[in-house]
Structure 1
Amino acid sequence: MNLDYFIRQKNTLILLFTILYVLIFSISALFTENDEFFYYTLLMGVLIYIVLVINQRMHFAPFIVINLSLIGFLHLLGGNAYIGTVRLYDFYFVPGLIKYDNLIHVYGTFIVTLVLYSMVSVYLNRELIRNRYWVIAVALVLMAIGVGTINELVEFFAVVYFDAAEQVGDYFNNSLDLLFNTIGAIMATVILYWFREQTSWLHNLNENLKKIS
């Protein structure tokens, strides 16, 4: 067994890793009676199925698939792991300014924006992307913010049904989530702009990885 084997089996390995951590966090939530994060892990299972269905048609680049899995892992880790007595999601890397939750929102929306670009770019020709990129970029940011809003609704239901107000946060925290979602989406469109001459650098990356295998 060598590196070539792992490259060929990358999607299977990513799926196994994702299923494994979802099962582990589900069991942990049951034993600790953490209804909020058991709810999140169930939703994660639904999202895995949706991504699998979409990926069968879209064939996302390995970079995207890997990072989607990592987002799920880091999200569940943030609600279950502690640094001392502080829940990881509430841990500040820069005291009073930037915490783990903020970084996850930036990272998550960054990857979601790349996913959205991968999905819409196949319906757009090269010239349109080159000549109207910033119009497309604004649309991508708005779509990514919309996806982030769905996440906020998921948290709202956790507050309503699982009394998770303390963990989820107040109106200010909700607004910060939307702000960092916007930052992540804008960062992604800027990165995509740098590679606009290739039309879809994610597709090219995927093709290069296929050549390695």
Structure 2
Amino acid sequence: MILSKKEWSVLGLFTATLPLFIIAFIVQNNYEFMGYVVVTLALFGLLLYSHKYVQYPLYVLWCLLVWAILHMLGGVEFAPGEVIYTFVICPIISEPYSILKYDQVVHAYGFFVATLVMFSVLHRYLVVRFSWTAVGIVLAMAGLGLGALNEIIEFGMTITMPRTNVGGYENTALDLVFNLVGAIAAALFLRWKELKGVKLINKD
């Protein structure tokens, strides 16, 4: 697989930052997020393999890198037993929902990016006879599908790990809500790009 210099810069920065988080997780005995490191590596491996077929836009690759860094950063402890993912950025709604947390922001952003990835995969099959309403719904559902897969992975972590920072039912439901927010935002962003004159859908 041949990458451009700009694409190599994305991969290089990912490769440079990942060991720092691995060291932090080992020092803090955070084996849950060591598991997420494996998942993140598998995701980037899949993206690298599929890039020769899909040709993900450079901005999507950078967005994925930012998501990976934010995700790994969320697993770092800022106090004994408290990871950054649990940090309340702005106390809009109190317990049991605890809005707005770092976790929720990363979920919204992450599945904004995941929806852009799904558009990169699907866009060659989209033609002008499909309305943007239909395209937006399909893209949002695709992003939500990846979000559901993420929740299954988190469930697996709760089974295999003696101690995790995965919350209960309310946390899972809120994760899905913020996934939906991110997926809808991505569909609206793509529509905005189309209105600005960027050709996103094939003409035949």
For 1:188, the equivalent position in structure 2 comes to 186
Hey, what's the Cα distance between the residues in 1 that align with 2:7 and 2:57?
10
3-state DSSP class of the match of 2:89?
A: strand
- Of 31, 34, 46, the residue aligned with 1:35 is 31
- Of 90, 112, 115, the residue aligned with 1:113 is 115
Report if the CA contact (8 A) 1:158-1:164 is conserved.
no
For 1:204, the equivalent position in structure 2 comes to none
Stretches of 4+ aligned residues off by more than 4 angstroms: 83-86
Residue 100 (1) aligns with residue 102 (2): yes
Moved more, 66-75 or 85-94: 85-94
Give the Å deviation of 1:81: 4.4
Hey, what's the Cα distance between the residues in 2 that align with 1:179 and 1:157?
20
- The size of the alignment, in residue pairs, is 190
Hey, what's the Cα distance between the residues in 2 that align with 1:92 and 1:33?
23
> What TM-score, normalized by structure 1, do the two folds share?
0.83
> What TM-score, normalized by structure 2, do the two folds share?
0.86
Give the Å deviation of 1:199: 3.2
Residue 136 (1) aligns with residue 132 (2): no
Report if the CA contact (8 A) 2:77-2:84 is conserved.
yes
Q: How does 1:46-195 map to 2 (within 5 A)?
A: 46-82=42-78, 86-95=82-91, 96=94, 97-125=99-127, 127-129=128-130, 132-165=131-164, 167-195=165-193
* Residue identity matched to 2:64: L
3-state DSSP class of the match of 2:159?
A: helix
Report if the CA contact (8 A) 1:22-1:44 is conserved.
no
Per-residue Cα deviation, 1:14-72 (whole angstroms, up to 9, x for no partner): 10111122222223323332210111111111111101011122111111001101101
Per-residue Cα deviation, 1:96-121 (whole angstroms, up to 9, x for no partner): 32110010011011111111112111
Hey, what's the Cα distance between the residues in 2 that align with 1:84 and 1:161?
22
For structure 1, the 5+ residue unaligned runs are 1-7, 202-213
Report if the CA contact (8 A) 1:80-1:87 is conserved.
yes
Moved more, 52-61 or 26-35: 26-35
Report if the CA contact (8 A) 2:67-2:106 is conserved.
yes
Hey, what's the Cα distance between the residues in 1 that align with 2:50 and 2:68?
17
For structure 2, the 5+ residue unaligned runs are none
Identity of aligned residues (%): 28
